[in-house]
Amino acid sequence: MSTLEKYLRPDVIRQVERLDLRARFIVEGFLSGLHASPNHGFSVEFSEHRKYNPGDDIKDIDWNVYAKTEKYYVKKFEAETNMSGWMVLDSSGSMGWTFRQQMTKFDYSVSLAAALAYLMIRQQDPVGLAIFNDKIHQSLPPKSKRSHLGAMLSLLGGLKPGGVSNPGAALRQLQPLMRHKSLVMLFSDMLTETEPVIDGLRRLRFAGHEVIVFHVLDEAEIHFPFDHLTEFHDIETTDKMTIDARAVRADYIATMEAFRKELSNELARSNIDYVPIDTSVNFDKALMGYLQQRQHRC
């Protein structure tokens, strides 16, 4: 199976294409808000003519005007400023874990990011990629060509999650890579110290970027389906712990719910979208649940 087939399977494509039709507010709502700056380019509506200058593309010459005036003029267009998207994926060791799902948190995040990149490229918005653990170790600049999605997935398909997660450091590295206002989508299990992450996300908002946090956890990390004396291993360190799972289940679930709620509240204060997801949720439900929430606010 190719990387493209693995991460953008036909069933996912069908879901995404349905979302593209049912959720047009993605284009007409918060994304189009960043499409408002009229600049002269060569991609949208005809504006006026100007004299041909050496170096101009001869394909832009208006031959009808030449036939009448015997002078070379090129068409001048008024273009919208495309919004750049950045898919920022956590590839730390904990993202490579799953309890009983077919997809790890990393695989799930890649498929979700691929679906959203597919949506953006369909509307001709460039999408970039940044992959991190303790720092950004791979990146691709934003492009809007259809082949770019394959390049992104090819890069992701060759990675194996590993190392310690530090989203805060990665977000600080990301800022110099962004030349324009962008839509930043972070995919992480957030199993790290959250204060530096929230600070990095707030800095992006302060700089004028749109930010969405997809908090991707395994279903077992949400529901804690363990009953007996169980040994737990920290994937990113060598730490181990043996506990009576049944005795701590209620406290664990309450703590996890409080953690997600606090994270949501902290991000909401900075107008950062927070999307909690676990890997047992189908892609269409994961995306539609978020997009419907966004529609109500647009």
Tokens of 84: 């750049």
CA atoms 239, 108, 223, 262: torsion sign: positive
How much is the average pLDDT of 127-156? Answer: 92
Whole-number percent of the chain with pLDDT over 70: 76
Q: What is the mean pLDDT of the chain?
A: 80
More confident residue, 131 or 1: 131
pLDDT tier at 266, thresholds 50, 70, 90? very high
pLDDT tier at 15, thresholds 50, 70, 90? low
How far is the C-alpha of 169 from the C-alpha of 143, rounded, in Å? 24
pLDDT at 253 over 70: yes
Q: How many CB atoms lie within 10 A of CB 126?
A: 19
pLDDT at 11 over 80: no
Q: How high is the pLDDT of residue 291?
A: 67
Q: How high is the pLDDT of residue 117?
A: 86
pLDDT at 293 over 80: no
How much is the average pLDDT of 279-292? Answer: 76
User: The domain 3-33+82-297 is classified under which CATH number: 3.40.50.2300, 3.40.250.10, 3.40.50.300, 3.40.50.410?
Assistant: 3.40.50.410
pLDDT for 81-124, tens place per residue? 467 899 999 999 999 999 988 889 999 999 888 888 887 887 78
Asked if residues 184 and 204 have their Cβ atoms less than 8 Å apart, the reply is yes
pLDDT at 21 over 60: no
Asked if residues 86 and 142 have their Cβ atoms less than 8 Å apart, the reply is yes
pLDDT at 265 over 90: yes
Q: How many CB atoms lie within 10 A of CB 298?
A: 11
End-to-end CA distance of the chain: 40
More confident residue, 152 or 283: 152
How far is the C-alpha of 9 from the C-alpha of 115, rounded, in Å? 10
CA atoms 275, 199, 211, 169: torsion sign: negative
Q: How high is the pLDDT of residue 295?
A: 56
pLDDT at 241 over 60: yes
pLDDT for 160-186, tens place per residue? 899 999 999 999 999 999 888 889 999
Three-state SS sequence of the chain = CCHHHHHCCHHHHHHHHHHHHHCCHHHHCCCHHHCCCCEEECCCEEEEEEECCCCCCHHHECHHHHHHHCCCEEEEEEECCCCEEEEEEECCHHHHCCCCCCCCHHHHHHHHHHHHHHHHHHCCCCEEEEEECCCEEEEEEEECCHHHHHHHHHHHHCCCCCCCCCHHHHHHHHHHHCCCCEEEEEEECCCCCHHHHHHHHHHHHHCCCEEEEEEEECHHHHHCCCCCEEEEECCCCCCEEEEEHHHHHHHHHHHHHHHHHHHHHHHHCCCCEEEEEECCCCHHHHHHHHHHHHHHHC
Domain map (residue ranges) of the chain: 3-33+82-297, 38-79
* pTM of the predicted protein model: 0.77
How far is the C-alpha of 266 from the C-alpha of 264, rounded, in Å? 6
Which residue do the tokens 């070379």 mark? 72
